[in-house]
Amino acid sequence: MGAVTRATLAKRPDDVARMFDAVAEHYDRTNAVMTFGQERRWRRLVATALELGPGTRVLDLAAGTGASSLPFATAGAHAIACDFSLGMLAVGRRKHPDVTFVAGDALRLPFRDGAFDAVTISFGLRNVADVPVALAELARVTAPGGRLAVLETSHPPSAVLARLNRVYVERVMPVLARPFSSDPAAYDYLAESAGAWLDQSALATALRDAGWGQVGWRNLLFGAVALHVARRPN
């Protein structure tokens, strides 16, 4: 497959979708390399933060191939893996036939109000063109009292670690991606979007502004990644 026009920080939905379509086949393998295998542990932490149990209805937004939804099924929850990249969904349906996949746009979710007991998005929020709208949409489809978990790149609080993380994200990560990804140029964009993303406090403020309550976060990988949690007020 030839390289596609990669997405930019303008985050035009068509560009972002085409980019993820292009990397879908090897995305999970590349992601494991980029995170040093930590993504599986982080996904389990997301499942714990969502307080899942048998029969819990959970939306996994920007789920890609659905690998992030697997811990939810293990917990007995009924998970819907939603993504707007049809390429990702096609690979996911082949790899994980037991996962329910739905095509959908984070800015116009195809679900009724209060449809889910819990919602989550992992490493996808920074790719959305309008973050406040996406957070408000997630609140809309969450039942009162329901939980939200956002797993996303962030900014280490230590100045030294922040510099090291910037070097890794901007220089090392795109190089590591080349042998594993079907479209390595896409990881140049992913590195740019990580560097331009909100820090922990700013994302917490965005969550509150979108109507979420009980907002908190936990730093992972020395703050290079953060897990934000919140609850839909009653």
CA 147 to chain centre: 16
Per-residue pLDDT band for 185 (boundaries 50, 70, 90) equals low
- 75: which residues sit within 8 A by CB, 6+ positions away? 47, 52, 53, 54, 56
Residue range 51-61: mean pLDDT, rounded:
95
Per-residue pLDDT band for 2 (boundaries 50, 70, 90) equals very low
Q: Can you give the pLDDT at residue 9? A: 47
Mean pLDDT, all residues of the chain: 87
Q: Can you give the pLDDT at residue 135? A: 98
Which of 47, 65, 43 lies closest to 56, judged by CA? 47
- For residue 68, the SS3 value is helix
- Count the Cβ atoms, other than its own, within 10 Å of residue 153: 20
CATH C-level class of 13-231 = alpha beta
**Pair 208, 217: CB distance under 8 Å:** no
- 94: which residues sit within 8 A by CB, 6+ positions away? none
Domain residues of the chain, as ranges? 13-231
